[in-house]
Amino acid sequence: MGPDGLQENDVYLRTAVSVDSSGWAHYDYVKMPDYRWGIFLTPPEKDRTIGFGDNANMAAWDKVPGEFRSDLRRIIVTQADTEPASVEQQRLLGHSCPSLYDLRNLLQVNVEEGRHLWAMVHLLHEYFGKDGRDEAEEMLVRRSGNPDTPRILAAFNKPIDDWLSFFCFTMFTDRDGKFQLGALAESGFDPLARATRFMLTEEAHHLFVGDTGIQRVLQRTCQLMNEIPDGDVTQRGGIPLQVVQKYINFWYSASMDLFGGEDSSNAANYFGAGLKGRFGEQKDKKISDHLALDGYYELEWMDNGHMSNHQIPMRRAMNLVLRDSYKEDCEKAVRRWNKVVAKMGVDFELTLPSQRFNREIGVYMNQPFSPSGEMLSAEDYQSKVSNWLPTEEDRAYVISLMVQVREPGKFAGWIAPPAKGIQGNPLDFPYVKFDHNN
């Protein structure tokens, strides 16, 4: 279920060879089937203790604590399941890569997501015995988008048929990964903490691919807008800024759902047990209360026909707290993109939709909120939603632009080249080698 074709091509990949911070990355041509799926754990911290919850300050676990076994297994299974799901979603994109540089980045992301699955399956096999092995087998049965055996979380069943979706996914959905992995890196179950810490070092590149990918689309569109001031960029094969905004709305709202419900007893249990912390639980100076037994998170939602204020006890609001860290991170990127657009003299501002918009999970689920968070009537929402989410025509247009570009240094017309190549190599470096057979 990996990338379709491309098994025989030499790909200029980064491979993790050890965990020490200076020398873990090794760059060379590798055929994907030969990519080394190592299991990497960051070095153990001597006398590590649990950093939060009811078991705070006790020794971290190096075996599965019996009373939390099923919660822990469930967290690991949910995390593991997303990794192959993303590879399945992306498996056909190689056929329409906008450049060899982009193709290489796609394949780099794919092999690392494969490795992440391997790292999580290792935990299941090593620490959970038979039921862990059974869960690992199930992982091989589920398939992204399969109506009978879908992947666990909804965003991982949505198709990624074009590269604008791929960039939005790596920007917004991989970024959920950054925050979920960051929360698991705090775990009192030490093997999980050490595995996810190392995964996070790879995750940074996935986010880079998404962030710069969207930025390059914006740059190319603005360039076309400047060349044909009153014209329509679609006449020149560009992607209109409004369409980019709709894709952002789609993937950002789908990724918000990956944090679970706003008021969650699961989240409270995971935190209380010391299984899943907040982002930066140990390092962030702003987090000083590691018990979170006091205080409330206040949130407005619809109740008996009107919006009213609710107080969520802090531990039950941990999904929301994590999501807020995520939102802040996304906002920074959007501000950077807007600077790029403004610098090119184009008057357009990208925004992130409200947390209430287009939700399938939690307290705003299936309610007609606008991207600015306003409650609308169902009819009003229906009449406007084509301005906010990609329509069939938008998708068909974006897909029509997707043609494979294989000549080193050349880029498809809908995207600007990146600022620089990979690992000091020039843009026209053959990042993926094709011969006449493939």
Q: For residue 310, report the phi and psi dihedrals to the nearest 5 degrees.
A: -130, 150
Residue among 315, 337, 404 at smallest CA distance from 95: 404
Closer CB to Fe ion, 3 or 371, in the complex: 3
C-alpha–C-alpha distance, residues 175 and 323, integer Å? 11
- Chain centre to alpha carbon of residue 354: 18
Q: Is 253 in the site for ligand BYC (CB under 6 A)?
A: no
Q: Which residues bind Fe ion (CB under 5 A)?
A: 83, 113, 116, 174, 177, 206
Torsion 267-193-25-156 (CA) sign: negative
Closer CB to ligand BYC, 245 or 253, in the complex: 253
C-alpha–C-alpha distance, residues 93 and 133, integer Å? 31
Question: In the window 263-282, what residues touch ligand BYC (CB under 6 A)?
Answer: 264, 266-267, 276
Residue among 277, 248, 78 at smallest CA distance from 187: 277
Strand, coil or helix: 7: coil
Q: Shortest approach of ligand BYC to residue 132 CB, angstroms?
A: 16
Only segment of 1-9, 173-181, 240-248, 380-388 that touches ligand BYC (CB under 6 A) = 173-181
Closer CB to Fe ion, 117 or 241, in the complex: 117
CB-count exposure of residue 138 (10 Å: 0-12, 13-18, 19+): middle
Among 90, 108, 144, 173, binds ligand BYC (CB under 6 A): 173
Residues 355, 204: contact at Cβ < 8 Å?
no
Q: Is 6 in the site for ligand BYC (CB under 6 A)?
A: no
Residues 271, 54: contact at Cβ < 8 Å?
no
Sequence-distant (≥ 6) Cβ neighbours of residue 163 within 8 angstroms: 93, 96, 97, 98, 102, 213, 402, 415
**What residues pair up with 369 in beta bridges, in sequence order?**
375
CA of 8: how far to CAs of 3, 17, 112, 436, in Å? 11, 22, 18, 12
Q: Is 174 in the site for ligand BYC (CB under 6 A)?
A: yes
Question: In the window 316-375, what residues touch ligand BYC (CB under 6 A)?
Answer: 319, 361
Closer CB to ligand BYC, 193 or 241, in the complex: 193
Q: Shortest approach of ligand BYC to residue 108 CB, angstroms?
A: 13
Among 42, 165, 180, 219, binds ligand BYC (CB under 6 A): 180
- For tokens 């490795």, the residue is 115
Among ligand BYC, Fe ion, none, partner that 75 touches (CB below 5 to 8 angstroms by kind): ligand BYC
Q: Shortest approach of ligand BYC to residue 361 CB, angstroms?
A: 5
Closer CB to ligand BYC, 61 or 251, in the complex: 251
Q: Is 112 in the site for ligand BYC (CB under 6 A)?
A: no
Only segment of 26-34, 169-177, 227-235, 351-359 that touches ligand BYC (CB under 6 A) = 169-177
Among 51, 188, 261, 272, binds ligand BYC (CB under 6 A): 261
Among 207, 258, 321, 333, binds ligand BYC (CB under 6 A): 258
Closer CB to Fe ion, 162 or 174, in the complex: 174
Torsion 250-254-255-257 (CA) sign: positive
C-alpha–C-alpha distance, residues 112 and 98, integer Å? 21
Both tokens of 11, joined, read: 């790909």
Q: Shortest approach of ligand BYC to residue 402 CB, angstroms?
A: 21
Determine the size of the site formed for ligand BYC (CB under 6 A).
Answer: 25
**What residues pair up with 307 in beta bridges, in sequence order?**
302
Among 135, 176, 190, 394, binds ligand BYC (CB under 6 A): 176
Q: Which residue is nearest to ligand BYC (CB)?
A: 260
Please, what is the Cα angle at 373 between 368 and 374, to 5 degrees? 65
Question: In the window 138-167, what residues touch ligand BYC (CB under 6 A)?
Answer: 153-154
- Chain centre to alpha carbon of residue 54: 30
Can you give the binding site for ligand BYC, defined by CB under 6 A? 75, 78-79, 82-83, 86, 113, 153-154, 173-174, 176-177, 180, 257-261, 264, 266-267, 276, 319, 361
